[in-house]
Amino acid sequence: MMRTDWFDYYLPEELIAQFPPEQRGASRMLVLHRETGAMTIRPFAAIVAYLRPGDCLVFNDTKVMRARMYGWKNGDPGAARIEILLLRPESSDGVRWQCLLKPGKRVRPGTRVRLVTAAGEFVGDDWFTVTAKNSDNSFTVAFSSSDNELLQQRYGHVPLPPYIRRADGDLDQDRYQTIFAREAGAVAAPTAGLHFTPEILAELAAKGVEQVNVTLHVGPGTFQPVAVADVSEHHMHTEQFILTEASAATINRVKAAGGRILAVGTTSVRVLESCAGDDGRVTPQTGATDIFIYPPYRPRVVDLLLTNFHLPKSTLIMLVSAFAGREHVLAAYRLAVEERMRFYSYGDCMLLNL
């Protein structure tokens, strides 16, 4: 039995980053040697020194939707205020969506909600109708318009994580998005990628480090705590992913030539390890994954991992522990706290190195 509370640690609340650093890439990086547990803290830009010609970085190119919206039940400002969080489209025309609603007890199939701006104003006659409540406590809704991108522009908010205790603002439109975001569909950013700048990517390319993309649309389950005492009894959430033929071919070629694969973020790890065979080769796929990685799992594809710091007792700190061992990871977290590093989505990062 592997206990969930073995992955707990103490974190002062003031270390939870509420805003990104003043400049993208101006963060610190704790470098942890996977085998020995040796640690050092460097500026993030030093990542270039840890990569070799012939290595390969794998980025998640998902794009965060402006997925959080608000509206009045029945279009009445005196009625219940409903929050909607878009998850994924359920129809090709963009009308029907799976979503989360809050407060869910106030809505039943047939309920109509009129969307409002952040200022609580009606700027168009835009509605959604609840069509079903699903077995997983999500809902299916139908929008009055098929142009969901326009609805997000009019009414959407950046869905900041629950531990960022402020409303989203203009800054988040840019900074809660990686510079290589392409495929809209996430409700949370692949935060390890937030540190990269065009200049750092150019330095890596000039050094002969290859760069490829995968896509995994991060869902709200990424923040779901492990509520069971035994890790193996946790029911893992599912996320949609794509590994293209071109990316798979590059990754397999790099591995065959003795290069190393650096996964940028736990989401990239989930894609690669979901597509890996016993021989360490990846197969291009499009689908959904509920892979749950925790010790004593040994990664088959990924050699190095860049990741932010994660919530106590979360599936993500368990995944990181599969790379370097629980004891080494928790020791690194203690050092990060001692050194007053910044935690979570807008915080500093770790490089698990060989």
pLDDT digits (tens, 9 = 90+) for 172-192: 999 999 999 999 999 999 999
Same domain, 334 and 225: yes
CATH number for the domain that contains residue 93: 2.40.10.240
Shared domain for 123 and 265, answered yes or no, is no
Give the tens place of pLDDT for each residue, 301-339. 999 999 999 999 999 999 999 999 999 999 999 999 999
Residue 160 lies in a domain: no
Assign residue 232 the CATH number of its domain.
3.40.1780.10
Distance between CA atoms of 268 and 291, rounded to whole angstroms?
12
Q: Do 57 and 89 belong to one domain?
A: no
In this structure, the answer to whether residues 94 and 124 fall within a common structural domain is yes
Indicate whether 316 and 184 sit together in one domain. Answer: yes
Residue 267 predicted with pLDDT over 90: yes
Is residue 26 in a domain? yes
* 101 and 227 part of one domain: no
In a domain, 168, yes or no: no
184 shares a domain with 298 = yes
Examine the domain organization and report whether 57 and 77 are in the same domain. no
Q: What is the pLDDT of residue 218?
A: 96
Looking at 129, 155, 181, which one is the last position of a domain? 155
Same-domain pairing of 104 and 198: no
Q: Residue 260 CA to chain centroid, in angstroms?
A: 23
Average pLDDT, the chain: 96
What was the pLDDT predicted at 120?
83
Q: What is the per-residue pLDDT for 260?
A: 98
In a domain? residue 40: yes
In the chain, the number of structural domains is 2
pLDDT of residue 1 exceeding 90, the answer is no
Reference 117, options 149, 72, 170, 85; nearest CA is 72
Assigned domain for 285 exists:
yes
Residue 196 confidence (pLDDT) above 90: yes
Same domain, 223 and 286: yes
| Opening angle at CA 78, ends 75 and 82, nearest 5 | 60
Exposure of 36 in the CB half-sphere (CA atoms within 13 A): 7
Residue 225 has a pLDDT of: 82
Same-domain check for residues 341 and 243: yes
pLDDT tens for each residue of 204-244: 999 999 999 999 999 998 888 899 999 999 999 999 999 99
The CA distance from 205 to 30, in Å, is: 23
Among 93, 121, 155, the domain boundary falls at 155
Note whether residue 208 is domain-resident: yes
- What is the residue range of 109's domain? 68-155
166 located within any domain = no
